[in-house]
Amino acid sequence: MALAKKGSRSILIDDVQYRWKARSETDGTTHVVVELYDEPQQSIVAFFQSYPFDDPEEKRVITPATVTALVNYALKQRWTPEKKAKQLNLGFLDDIIKE
């Protein structure tokens, strides 16, 4: 199922347009979903701790740099966004993506 246009953002990475959305949950995690902008097939989902820092007031912000690092990591994990497949769950990436 494709991400809704409303509430999602677009990003261009290596001449490929993606759509992404981040959502904070009440359990203290942030979910990030990314897929191709046009004709999405397989999407990825990754999780981050919303408050991974020593200061509980300092919340993790998902930025375009975070999404770029996430896409690059997923592609190295053999993500094929142009092929129809179930969503690829990359799990918690706090230790891998520091952006």
Domain count, the chain: 1
SS3 58: coil
Mind listing the pLDDT tens digit for each residue in 14-26? Answer: 999 999 999 988 8
Within-domain flag for 1? no
Within-domain flag for 84? yes
Within-domain flag for 3? no
Within-domain flag for 14? yes
CA distance 18 to 29: 22
- The pLDDT of residue 51: 74
Within-domain flag for 2? no
- The pLDDT of residue 23: 93
User: Average pLDDT in the 21-35 region?
Assistant: 92
Within-domain flag for 70? yes
- The pLDDT of residue 27: 85
pLDDT confidence tier of residue 7, bands split at 50, 70 and 90: confident
Within-domain flag for 65? yes
Q: Is the per-residue pLDDT at 4 higher than 90?
A: no
Domain of 46, in residue numbers: 9-92
Mind listing the pLDDT tens digit for each residue in 42-83? Answer: 999 999 988 766 666 777 889 999 999 999 999 999 999 999
Within-domain flag for 56? yes
